Structure 1
Amino acid sequence: MTKELGAFRTIGELSKELNIKPHILRYWEDQFAVLAPLKRAGSRRHYRPEDVEIVKTINRLLNEEGYTIKGARKFLASRRRRPEMVEDAPQPGSVPVSSAEPEPDYRGPSIAELKSIRDRLSHALDHA
């Protein structure tokens, strides 16, 4: 039995759906203020569709892109200040939001670049 896209998910359902252990989801609630599922009787958590998207984004940032928790917090905070910044490509037929002065799209170095820098620093320290 699968729920509709807009349905609320319990912590167990979300855990199974995204393959993230429930204790990790509870930990993320403590670490990310933006993640605040509804709590019902007995402190049972119910994740709204927007909570599910936040969890997916946190998971991607931490486990795929190599962000630290602090870095992921900053990313999510910047996204809240700039709601036009979405992670998906623009939908066909959509008009991009423009402003007088667009902000630069700086995402920082990639994991490969950071590893290269680390290796060069390590090599330099070995020969110092």
Structure 2
Amino acid sequence: MVAQPPGEKASGAFRTIGEVSRELDLPQHRLRYWESRFPQLRPVKRAGQRRYYRAEDVALVRRIDSLLNREGYTIAGVQRLFAQEGKAKASARRETPADQDMPGQSLRAIRDALADALAADSR
């Protein structure tokens, strides 16, 4: 296990809004505003409504910042982009191969193969 330098968090650790703000050089009010505009950005809220950002939340904030401030998207444009990506993911999940086994069928096939192997082994 690699020791973390003093004062530095592990890559998967939760971060407060202040830590994310400093790390990405963005004001805290902008992060809170983006939460209201992008439903995908939902940091964990604990007692007192303190926000804790997961690693995937920080990655999403980086992406939103890049799209808005570097690539020239508007907020509405980023919302449309995320909506299109969400639809593409949903349709990819629905388009499973017709010959794909259901989980129960796969387990039964494994069980039957193991039973056959045990029966052959005991002969």
For 2:68, the equivalent position in structure 1 comes to 62
- Which ranges in structure 2 are unaligned for 5 or more consecutive residues? 1-6, 90-123
Q: Is 1:42 the equivalent of 2:48?
A: yes
For 1:74, the equivalent position in structure 2 comes to 80
Aligned-residue identity in percent: 53
- Out of 19, 28, 36, the residue aligned to residue 30 of structure 1 is 36
Q: Is 1:21 the equivalent of 2:16?
A: no
Report how far residue 79 of structure 1 moved: 2.4
Paired amino acid for 1:20: L
- Which ranges in structure 1 are unaligned for 5 or more consecutive residues? 84-128
1:105-124 aligned at under 5 Å gives the runs none
* RMSD (CA atoms): 1.7
Q: Distance in 1 between matches of 2:88 and 2:53?
A: 23
Q: Distance in 2 between matches of 1:17 and 1:35?
A: 17
Q: Is 1:2 the equivalent of 2:3?
A: no
Report how far residue 14 of structure 1 moved: 0.3
For 2:58, the equivalent position in structure 1 comes to 52
TM-score scaled by length of structure 1 = 0.62
Which secondary structure does the structure 2 equivalent of 1:46 belong to? strand
Select the structure of larger CA radius of gyration.
Answer: 2
| Structure with the higher helix share, 1 or 2 | 2
| Paired residue total | 85
Paired amino acid for 1:22: Q
Deviations 1:35-64 (A, max 9, x none): 011100000000111111110110000000
Report how far residue 82 of structure 1 moved: 3.4
Q: Distance in 2 between matches of 1:4 and 1:80?
A: 29
Report how far residue 2 of structure 1 moved: 1.8
Report how far residue 80 of structure 1 moved: 2.8
Deviations 1:88-117 (A, max 9, x none): xxxxxxxxxxxxxxxxxxxxxxxxxxxxxx
TM-score scaled by length of structure 2 = 0.64
Q: Distance in 2 between matches of 1:4 and 1:76?
A: 28
State the 4+ residue runs in structure 1 displaced beyond 6 angstroms: none
